[in-house]
Chains A and B, each alone.
Chain A
Amino acid sequence: MSTFFKKDLPTLIIAVLGFSVLAEWFLPIQQLTDLKSFLSLTTTLITYGSFGIGTVYALTAEYTAVKRNRNIQQYLISGSFFAIIIIMTAICVMYGGLRAFYNPEYRWYQYNLYSPQSQAMYAVMFLFQCGSLYRVLRLRNMESTVLIIAGVTFILSQIPLFASFVPGVDFLGGWMADAPSLGGTRPANITAAIGAIVVAIRALIGREQTTMETVGGG
């Protein structure tokens, strides 16, 4: 395929559509607003359509995992169970549309199988975080000492009983969150936004190389 069709034409399409959507942000022109709505709808359609690709990849990966495992009994039990659920969900959706997700059977699956596992992962996450904090908060130098004092003070300020015993600690905790912490957060957000704008402009003018083919005939 020629470079024109692989690189130049897509770049041109991105530039024209991208700058049109940008212009809509600045200018009150109805045609631009309509174009933006149309492009948003198209993006949504492509997004949902692409779940088919994901399904193929998920099945391929699972099939490979099953194939390399000599003992497939675990797959026979859990696989059959989940296959039944998936088939039942598909049938429900076919006959009931998206309302199927509100029916009692689906909700039973959601609340009794999916949610508890998710919550367990969340619980594990916070447990791990305590372990990590223990690893990180060490008296190594001046900075780490300040970090420990600030961290411990903030944690204590969040305990209502401790705050009632030590007057002013809740105020100190609040100040730490609202002043130094926020002061550090906002520059991080501003610089990240600046970086994002630069990457976006590079993409719009066709200079973003990371998303372009540079070998293989492109």
Chain B
Amino acid sequence: MIALKTGRLWDLLIFASFLILILYYMDKASKGKPLPKIRTIAALEAIKEGIGRAVEIRKPVHFSFGAYGAYLTGDAVSETVAAVGVLGYTAGQVAKLGARLIFHLPQQPYAIPLLEGAVDEAYMKEGKAGEWNKAADMRFYGYGTMVHTSAMASSMTADGVAMNVMVGRQTTIVYPAMEAAKLQGAINIGGTTRWTAMYIFALTCDYLFIGEEIYAAGAKVTENPYMIASIAVEEIMKYAAMGVVALALVLGLAGFDIVSFFKM
């Protein structure tokens, strides 16, 4: 019999709980049973309004993952995947309403086919395949956050900006780009789950994806019942986490070595 690695028991239990709950809720979705509703996410609604504004004032919509924002390896993949959902939604609305989308690619070129595909598919869904002017409006700036930020700010000055959407694994250095958008009178919408960069978005954004809202937004825009079903698991696990924190606090105060317990 193969034993578990030391200190991984709780990891396994938590992962198994997630997996079982997700499969359970997806099974419910497949049987057409009622699913929990995701509340309206203000930032998503604002994207639609912002694109309408872009059409009215004839200025483009800018979208960026930030310089580092499209990791497809490591612990940031999930955020990239969720942000791709927001990209697809934005591109779809842009195509539908006939606005112009300028997409500032992140510094990870390996993500380009995925990101390009997301925009292409969004245009295709709206019956406007091939109408996105990629040669001019899909921009890659190479490696470096400063380069990306400077280029974005320059582009906003040169091309104008009605709305700037920035989601994904962002860093604080995207700030000048967001400020440039604000100075141009644009609506700023964005968010990241990196807590060290959240304050930047709180300072500059008119509408903010707060932390995990990005993951929920990714599911909400697809309107796929299986993805929405899995959001219910997020809620359950959040309450479970709160319970564990409260329990750990009480047990810790009572003198139990709670840290060692969770290191089993």
Binding site for B on A (CB under 8 A): 22, 25-29, 43, 46-47, 50-55, 57-58, 60-61, 64-65, 68, 117-118, 121-122, 124-125, 128-129, 131-133, 135-136, 185, 188-192, 194-203, 205, 207-211, 213-216
Do A29 and B195 touch (CB < 8 A)?
no
Binary per-residue interface labels of chain B (95-131) against chain A in the complex, 1 for a CB within 8 Å, 0 otherwise: 0000000000101111011100110010011000100
Contacts of B121 in A (CB 8 A): 213-216
Chain B, residue nearest A128 (CB): B179
List B residues 215-244 near A (Cβ within 8 Å).
215-216, 218, 221-222, 224, 226-227, 230-231, 233-234, 237-238, 241
7 A-B pairs in the complex with CB atoms less than 8 angstroms apart: A27-B5, A54-B142, A191-B234, A210-B84, A210-B221, A213-B117, A216-B124
Do B237 and A118 touch (CB < 8 A)?
no
4 other contacts beyond A136-B203, A211-B81, with CB at 8 A cut-off? A200-B77, A210-B85, A213-B117, A216-B121
Do A125 and B173 touch (CB < 8 A)?
yes
Contacts of B198 in A (CB 8 A): 188
B136 on interface, CB distance cutoff 8 Å: yes
| B85 CB to nearest A CB, Å | 4
Q: A194-B238, A195-B193 are in contact. Are A211 and B114 (CB under 8 A)?
A: yes
Q: How far is the CA of A115 from the CA of B227 in the complex (A)?
A: 44
Q: How far is the CA of A124 from the CA of B234 in the complex (A)?
A: 39
Q: A188-B198, A192-B211, A201-B22 are in contact. Are A25 and B5 (CB under 8 A)?
A: yes
Q: A25-B8, A189-B195 are in contact. Are A201 and B18 (CB under 8 A)?
A: yes
Contact among B118, B142, B212 for A194, CB-based, below 8 A? B212
Do A28 and B5 touch (CB < 8 A)?
yes
Binding site for A on B (CB under 8 A): 2-5, 8, 11-12, 15, 18-19, 22-23, 26, 73, 75, 77-79, 81-82, 84-85, 88, 105, 107-110, 112-114, 117-118, 121, 124-125, 129, 135-136, 138-142, 144, 146, 149-150, 172-173, 175-176, 179, 193, 195, 198, 202-204, 211-212, 214-216, 218, 221-222, 224, 226-227, 230-231, 233-234, 237-238, 241
**Most A C-beta atoms less than 10 A away, residue of B78, B81, B173:** B78
